[in-house]
Amino acid sequence: MIDGKKYINGKPIKVNQGHQDKHIVGTNNYNNELSNGKMKSILIEEPNRLLDDFAGKGTKINDYKERVDFGKVIGKYYDEKTGIYIETTKGIITYGKNGAHIIPARP
């Protein structure tokens, strides 16, 4: 913790709203993705709360990603092979220099 803020690998734990909005129904970024033919997994829980409670507690994938089981349904994972949405308790937290975002992941 530096200056009252949490960091992982030197990256701040705050929501990168632009990236997060691609997974929140009704936002401009989500609608733009759909209009470009890109189906996205959908986050239904509040991302700031999820980051506060779970950042750094998942299984590390690489230096900037971790897979987390949030213990409750956080959204719907879009399965590209079947074209079906599936409720999921799992997500990938991706950290970057401008913040983090959560992508609902394969159950």
Q: What was the pLDDT predicted at 6?
A: 74
- Region for 99 from its dihedrals, namely left if φ exceeds 0, alpha if ψ lies in -120 to 50, beta otherwise: left
Place of tokens 């993705």: 33
Taking the C-alpha atoms of residue 81 and residue 58, their distance in angstroms, rounded to an integer, is 26
Taking the C-alpha atoms of residue 68 and residue 21, their distance in angstroms, rounded to an integer, is 19
Q: Find the angle CA(83)-CA(84)-CA(90) to the nearest 5 degrees.
A: 120
SS3 42: strand
Q: What backbone phi and psi angles, to 5 degrees, belong to 47?
A: -65, -35
Q: What is the pLDDT of residues 61-94, one digit of tens each?
A: 999 999 999 999 999 999 999 999 999 999 999 9
| Mean model confidence pLDDT for the chain | 93
3 confidence band (pLDDT: 50, 70, 90): low
